[in-house]
Amino acid sequence: MIHTSLASPAISFATSASLHSPGCSCAMCAASLATPPLQIGTQADPAKQERAEQQAIRRLQQRDQQVKAHELAHIAASGGLAQGGPSYVYQRGPDGQNYAIGGEVSIDTAEGKTPEQTIEKAQLIRRAALAPADPSSQDRSIAALATQMEWQARAEQTQQRQQENAVSKALNGERNAAIRSYTGEPNAPLFDISA
């Protein structure tokens, strides 16, 4: 899952302890919801308690692997935009080990110096957001924001080109008028710098 603020120059791709947003139906969330939390330490039978603890450890190990793979996928696709490594939220298992149950990666989302740089950056952000095998709804939201960022940069790029073309046409007109004035011929060959 990704956390972001539009005013922030960075976003965080995060996998929360509650997996994704409420109502998410991805495989990871479905598996998490299908297995109720275990009540460890309340069993009278030591063998049952041991089995419950082992089951809890396996679930925590699986979640730890999923969270770390999810966050590392964001980093691998970030193209150097990741601001440091992933940070994780841990839960201590019945074996005393800490297991990652959530995490995040911060990604630089500041616009580039030119529309072209902004377009490249937006494409990297989108790829990083959608890199995990199971992007969360928050990941998809960040991908949509990156697409919007790219569209705005493309619009700015188009506007710049239109302004450059207008300047080029004006310069061509001035040069052609000067050529006609100098030669005294109204049909003198025209000069075109836009070609």
Q: Is the pLDDT of residue 164 over 60?
A: yes
User: What's the pLDDT at 191?
Assistant: 57
Q: What is the pLDDT of residues 43-98, one digit of tens each?
A: 568 889 999 999 999 999 999 999 999 999 999 999 999 998 999 999 999 999 99
Q: Which domain holds residue 54?
A: 2-110
Alpha carbons 87 and 129: distance in angstroms, whole number = 16
Q: Tell me how crowded residue 131 is: count the other CB atoms within 10 A of its CB.
A: 20
pLDDT tier, 10 (very low <50, low <70, confident <90, very high otherwise): low
Q: What is the pLDDT of residues 119-142, one digit of tens each?
A: 999 999 999 999 999 998 888 999
What is the mean predicted confidence (pLDDT) over 4-33?
A: 51
Q: 28 φ, ψ to 5°? A: -65, -45
What is the mean predicted confidence (pLDDT) over 161-176?
A: 79
Domain membership of residue 51 (yes or no) is yes
Helices (H) and strands (E) in the chain, counts: 4, 4
Task: Please say whether the beta carbons of 122 and 104 come within 8 A.
Answer: no
User: What's the pLDDT at 13?
Assistant: 59
Task: Please say whether the beta carbons of 81 and 120 come within 8 A.
Answer: no
User: What's the pLDDT at 5?
Assistant: 35
What is the mean predicted confidence (pLDDT) over 13-36?
A: 51
Helix (H), strand (E) at residue 17: none
Domain membership of residue 125 (yes or no) is no
Domain membership of residue 77 (yes or no) is yes
Domain membership of residue 136 (yes or no) is no
Full strand arrangement of the beta sheet holding 98-108: 2-3, 10-15, 98-108, 87-92
Q: Is the pLDDT of residue 33 over 50?
A: no
Domain membership of residue 143 (yes or no) is no
Domain membership of residue 106 (yes or no) is yes
Task: Please say whether the beta carbons of 112 and 105 come within 8 A.
Answer: no
> How many structural domains does the chain have?
1
185 or 62, which is more confident? 62
User: What's the pLDDT at 175?
Assistant: 73
pTM: 0.65
Which residues fall within 8 angstroms of residue 31, CB to CB, at 6 or more apart? Answer: none
47 or 40, which is more confident? 47
Alpha carbons 56 and 37: distance in angstroms, whole number = 8
Alpha carbons 116 and 165: distance in angstroms, whole number = 18
Domain membership of residue 7 (yes or no) is yes
User: What's the pLDDT at 19?
Assistant: 47
- Partners of 98 in the beta sheet? 92
Q: What percent of the chain has pLDDT over 90?
A: 53
Domain membership of residue 78 (yes or no) is yes
User: What's the pLDDT at 56?
Assistant: 96
